[in-house]
Structures are given as structure tokens and as C-alpha cells.
Amino acid sequence: MAGLDFAVVGPGRVGLQLARQFINHGGRCLGIRGRNPQRPTEIAPGLRDVVFDTWREPRLRAAPIVFVTVPDRQIADVATDLAASLALDGSVVLHTSGLLTADALGPCREAGATVGSWHPLQTFPPIGAREAVWTDVWCAVEGDPAACELGFEVAHLLGMHPWRIEPEHKAVYHAAAAVAANLSHVLVVLGGQLLQECGLRPEKGPSPLAPLVLASTRNALDARQFENLTGAIARRDHATVRKHLEVLPAPVAAVYRELQSYFEAKAGSGDASREQVTAESCRRHHPTR
């Protein structure tokens, strides 16, 4: 890698943790720019000496590596701002959106930078929550050849697994991450709330769901298809599924039904006599739903 000097635009969850991680691996953070001139109140340890919010710093004006870690909807505006504010000729500008491609940084490209998208397949909770792990995280890289090359080098430096994604695959790629990590997150929180309604609400310690959810997630990660799935759907225990559908909030029951149908279709029961708990059969059993 030519040099390890970098700047970050977007002092949020990814930006601050990336800056800290890069510094821990020998990078020199020239500055971090946010939308407002104040330092974030929640600041990652290791970033206390970093300059916040100014392009007036001469060293920042020529950062060789710029990470754009703002929300997706802000990337185009930031790219325009960067092109107008920094000397980008020869710089590499990388954004961290899972969905958008390098083209979102078009103005930086026109100003002489090479541009790319650099997306860690990881979740970054707010600073102060559980710290994000970078080692062995896969990182989807796409864009101009020089930007991709640098994106690979940065990822390797941080102990990640970079891979080249085709721009046309980014929407499906990002949807896959959302289904696996975000939808499951909503369902786990919901499951915890339902358990609380049953009186299971310990004041301290990990969630009572932890052993079940962690084991089930590990089983799912080990699986090629649905061979490790347990529970009423996998057993095709339709009476039990129907009972679940009766007691769940209607929108959750609807999702449950849809996923059950999806499982039946994908797992290919091969047994036409087995009853499927489809929306239709539920309506038969529970006409009010």
C-alpha cells in the first residue's frame, strides 16, 4: 500500500470504528469530517486526538485515502462536496454502502480520484454497544481497478476477506445481508418481548433466548439447505403451527405463514398428502384472521 494516511467523512457507527481499526493497524487518520462541527459525544477510544470537521487542515486537503461512511442517501452530496473541497487527483475514495456502486462517487472520479465501494459484511452497532469484530469479516469490493486494489489491501490489513462483487449483484447481495441479519434481529427482539409477556424477564444476565438462538444460528450457518432446521415447521407439525398462528400478532403470523409456505416449497416435501399450513388452510381453521 502506497501510504496509510486516510480521512473519513461520516463520524457514525462505521466511520468511527473503521478509523479506530485502521489506526490500530498502522494507519494515520488525517481527519474526520461530520455534518456538524462538534465532535460526536460518543467517541471511540483511540480517536481523541483526531482532527474533526475541517477541510482547512492542509494535510487533510490531500488525503490519499478517503472513506465515505455517510448514510446512502448522503453519498452523492458528499461526493460533490469532496470534489469541490479536496485535491483528489491520485486519491482513492471508497464508500461503505452495501447497495450503491462506485458510480455514486462520480464527482470524485471526475475530479481525478479513483473510486470504489467497500462493504464489510458485518453489523456495526452504536459506539458503546458491543464492539464490532473485523477479523475474518468478508468485504465486498467493486469499482475502478486502482480503488479495488487498495480496497483489497486495506481489507487484508484489517484481517478481513475481500472479494470482488459485480456492480449488478449489489442489490441482491445487500438484500441477502438484510434478510439474514436484520430480519432475524427483528424476530429475535420480538421473541424476547413475547417471552417477557409469559413472565420470563430476568433482571440481569444474557437473554434467556441466548442458548437457543445462538445454537440455532450456528446450525443455520453450518447448513447448506434446511437440513438443520428444527421446530414445528421442520417436523411438519401443522397442529402446533396453527396454534402458534392463533396466538401471534397478526402481522407476525402472516410472516410466519409465508415462511412456512416458502420452506414447504423449497424443502420439497414430495408428499402431496401432507397438509400445508398455507394462508388458505389458516383461513379455513381461523376464519376471523
d(CA 93, CA 79): 9
Q: How far is the CB of 94 from ligand NAP (least distance, A)?
A: 11
**Segment interacting with ligand NAP, rule: CB under 6 A, options 6-14, 135-143, 230-238, 240-248:** 6-14
Contact 99, 168 (CB under 8 A): no
- State the cell numbers at 18: 473503521
Helix, strand, coil percentages (3-state) for the chain, rounded to 5, are 45, 15, 40
The residue count of the chain comes to: 289
Closest to 256 in 3D by CA, of 248, 265, 268:
248
Give the interface size with ligand NAP as a residue count (CB under 6 A). Answer: 25
10 binds ligand NAP (CB under 6 A): yes
CA separation, residue 224 to residues 37, 55, 221, 227 (Å)? 49, 49, 8, 7
74, 207, 240, 278: which one binds ligand NAP (CB under 6 A): 74
Rounded (10°) CA dihedral 48, 54, 59, 64? 90
31, 64, 98, 107: which one binds ligand NAP (CB under 6 A): 98
Closest to 100 in 3D by CA, of 22, 165, 13, 16:
165
42 binds ligand NAP (CB under 6 A): no
123 binds ligand NAP (CB under 6 A): yes
Q: How far is the CB of 81 from ligand NAP (least distance, A)?
A: 7
**Segment interacting with ligand NAP, rule: CB under 6 A, options 42-50, 93-101, 107-115, 211-219:** 93-101
What is the SS3 assignment for 60? helix
Nearer to ligand NAP, 65 or 70 (CB): 70
Nearer to ligand NAP, 127 or 150 (CB): 127
184 binds ligand NAP (CB under 6 A): no
d(CA 76, CA 93): 13
**Segment interacting with ligand NAP, rule: CB under 6 A, options 115-123, 139-147, 152-160, 234-242:** 115-123
78 binds ligand NAP (CB under 6 A): yes
- State the cell numbers at 28: 494515520
Write out the residues near ligand NAP by the rule CB under 6 A.
9-15, 33-36, 69-72, 74, 77-78, 96-98, 119-120, 123-124
